[in-house]
Chains A and B, each alone.
Chain A
Amino acid sequence: MVFVGSDDQLTVPTAVKIVIAGGFGTGKTTMVASVSEIPPLRTEELLTEAGVHVDDLAGIEGKDTTTVALDFGRITINTKVVLYLFGTPGQNRFWFMWDELATGAIGAVVLVDTRRLDSSFPSIDFFEHRGIPFIVAVNCFDGSQLYTVDEVRHALDLDEAIPVMLCDARDRESSKAVLVGLIQHSMNRLEAAV
């Protein structure tokens, strides 16, 4: 892959990102993996650098939790644009990472497991309060889809303008449909704001 501009200067593509959020075990990395062109990568931020914003140090002095891991994937859109998909860190205390992830993002997918609806509340609150476009995707684990879209919308107390979709995070086409839904929602929001 070579990116050479018309004036023969080396150029770099424009990078955009989408955040895949949700509670622990809702399938965030699974969704990233199902659409990414590379196996999901993992990068780590040392807690000593960003730890000033950590609200709860209890339990994170152990060896396994001195870093915050981020899983992410990549979709090359064309020679000028590349899309990154970032799963949010599993534990909600790492809010400082969410801020960097959300800044300049196209928007966010909040993955929901209907067996643990409450685990998605912090994600929804985060994106609502910052005015970041998001949609809710109900990850239908085997046999776990007990509720309709309307019931989920009601249970989460979602605004009518927020799309709610059913999906299977393991399935590439299903995850693609969710990303398409989010991008369209972001475009609609942009047009409504003009």
Chain B
Amino acid sequence: MTAREDWWYDEAAGPLVRPYAMVRGRTRPNAPHLHLVTQVRASSFTSDQTSLTVEHREIMALCARPLSVAEVAAYLDVPLIVVKVLLSDLIERGDVIVQNSSPHIPDRDLLQAVLDGVRGI
């Protein structure tokens, strides 16, 4: 095995280059409250999109309907952390709106709705 500090630079590191290039090396999203199931969707009034990257625009297209952060990552086929950084950019611009809550334990009414929903599928 190569030394620990070197092991990202062998051939196994290949697939990791592109996702990080996509976010220009950033690995920490500015929007802190993006969890796996946090719902995001494109806002109705989007700003000028000419400065957006292809990936940003793909997210905008995907988010025409509400989706979770995990779904956006899966459809875009990029790691979660990359999608969180890209979504942060769009949230800061006001192009994407986000569910304004962290994961909380569902209350009785919500559980009842989920129970009815699962029985109905």
Q: Contact residues of A with B, CB < 8 Å?
A: 1-3, 10, 12-17, 35, 37, 41-46, 48-49, 61-63, 66-67, 70, 72, 74-78, 80-84, 86, 100-101, 103-106, 176, 179-180, 183-184, 186-187, 190-191
Contacts and interface: CB of A to CB of B under 8 A. Distances in A.
Nearest to A81: B113
Contacts, number: 146
Contact of B104 (A61, A70, A104, A186): A104
A67 to B, nearest CB: 7
Contacts of A103: 35, 103
A106 B16 contact: no
B81 A1 contact: no
A61 B9 CA distance: 12
A106 B73 CA distance: 23
From B74, B98, B107, residue with most partner A Cβ within 10 Å: B74
Contact of A180 (B39, B98, B110, B118): B118
A84 B16 CA distance: 27
Interface in B78-114: 79-81, 97-99, 102-108, 110-114
A163 B64 CA distance: 41
Contacts of A101: 36
A75 B16 contact: no
Contacts of A61: 1, 7, 12
Given A10-B43, A17-B37, A83-B117, A70 B70 contact: yes
Contact of A12 (B35, B71, B97): B97
A160 to B, nearest CB: 22
Given A1-B65, A44-B80, A82-B39, A190 B117 contact: no
Contact of A10 (B35, B97, B111): B97
Interface of B: 1, 7-8, 11-12, 15-16, 19, 27, 35-41, 43-44, 65-66, 68, 70-71, 73-75, 79-81, 97-99, 102-108, 110-119, 121
A178 to B, nearest CB: 10
B35 A100 contact: yes
Nearest to B121: A75
Nearest to B65: A1
B114 to A, nearest CB: 6
Contact of B121 (A37, A66, A82, A86): A37
Contacts of A184: 115
A49 B27 contact: yes
